[in-house]
Amino acid sequence: MPDVSPTAALAPYAAHDDESRGRRYPEPPPQLRSEFQRDRDRIIHSNAFRRLVYKTQVFVNHEGDLYRTRITHSIEVAQIARSVALALRLNEALSEAICLAHDLGHTPFGHAGQDALNECMREYGGFEHNLQSLRVVDELEERYAEFPGLNLTFECREGILKHCSVRHARELGELGERFLKRQQPGLEAQIANLADEIAYNNHDVDDGLRAQLLSVEALRATRIFRRQHDAVMARYPDLSERRLVHEIVRRMINHIVLDLIHTTSSQLEQARPASIDEVRAHARPLAALSNECREEHLELKEFLREHVYRHYKVLRMTTKARRVVQELFEAFFKDVTLMPGEYRDQALKSEGANPGVGRARTVADYIAGMTDRYAILEHQRLFDPAERT
């Protein structure tokens, strides 16, 4: 059998198949692919992954076909992380798997949906999309005869759980330990985390321009955009606006990715971790941007917050979205028999020991799994007397 594992080329501080902390339910090793490639493949075949097609990133799905959705966002994140992982001799398949799974627990309607659901769940343990992504891969996907969820490796689950409160960390056993001990995840997870920020900062510039919430002139207020704009204009003074925008965004991504690779590489040279456990034990994340690049990147993030995420057109949409999620939650929580059979049965079953909590969690699982349009449709079915049920 040919050796298809890329392990030989990996750096000592990368995630290696044979050093994995394993899966929750032991399984025979995969054939003709690595453990982390198997994780990635399971994620791609999941229902939750396909639902990302119709979930909002910033612009609600029906606003236009060219805007990013959660799935194209996740693919762009994965693409950035793979480039960085390869350059640093990290485990590319693991980084890719973490990126493709990082938003699986996201509610419909982006952050507005998550905030609304969190508010509804305040008395019942709250709702956090990182934890929900983990819940999707650990519990909610139903695909295998032998175990619930996707039974992913520890390393992949560690990467999916980006943040976690101390209270939740205590309930998560081995996976929660690093939040209590203030340790780091492996480098593949660190890279995935930064790739997420790089991807959305840059694609939101592109989407914000497309939606005409931003202008090239206004974006020149940020150093990172202005530098690339000047460089492109100096070389191609007659470029059409469409090409100009793509050329600038492409160069911004390239600039940040190269900075990430160089900065991380020099931190690794200094720290010289001999294994993934030494990466975990390090006081700070070893994957990082240079100070200058981080500041510029934050400046762009702040600019987008002000001009895109808080734009009145976006706020009108998010206000509607919040109302849809709140009203769905209230209706289902008050009367679980309004939910489809499997959720109703689950809600009734989980009532026993902890009245309210189990029911609330089941309703949250149902709502979090909805796509934007399914949530809107459910809302119409429940509240619009003219709508068919």
Residues found near Mg ion in the complex (CB under 5 A): 103, 196
CB 336, CB 362: distance < 8 Å: yes
- 5/193 with CB nearer Mg ion: 193
| CB 203, min distance to Mg ion, A | 10
Provide Rg for the chain, Cα atoms: 22
Task: Determine contact, residues 48/104, Cβ cutoff 8 Å.
Answer: yes
Q: Shortest Cβ distance from residue 103 to Mg ion (Å)?
A: 5
Smallest distance from the beta carbon of 77 to Mg ion, in angstroms?
6
For residue 298, the minimal CB distance to Mg ion (Å) is: 17
CA distance 239 to 236: 6
Tokens of 73: 């966002």
Q: Which is nearer to Mg ion, 198 or 232 (CB)?
A: 198
Least Å from the CB of residue 388 to Mg ion: 35
Tokens 């939650």, located at residue: 329
Instruction: Report CA-CA distances (Å) from 200 to 8, 301, 317.
Output: 33, 9, 19
In the complex, what is the shortest distance from the CB of residue 74 to Mg ion, in angstroms, rounded to a whole number? Answer: 7
To which H or E segment does residue 180 belong? helix 177-181
Whole-angstrom distance, CA of residue 149 vs CA of residue 152: 8
Q: Closer CB to Mg ion, residue 159 or residue 273?
A: 159
Q: How much of the chain is in helix, strand and coil states, percent to nearest 5?
A: 65, 0, 30
- Tell me whether residue 10 or residue 253 sits nearer to Mg ion (CB atom): 253
- What phi and psi, each to the nearest 5 degrees, are found at residue 95? -60, -45
Q: Which is nearer to Mg ion, 103 or 206 (CB)?
A: 103
Nearer to Mg ion among residue 81 and residue 214 (C-beta): 81
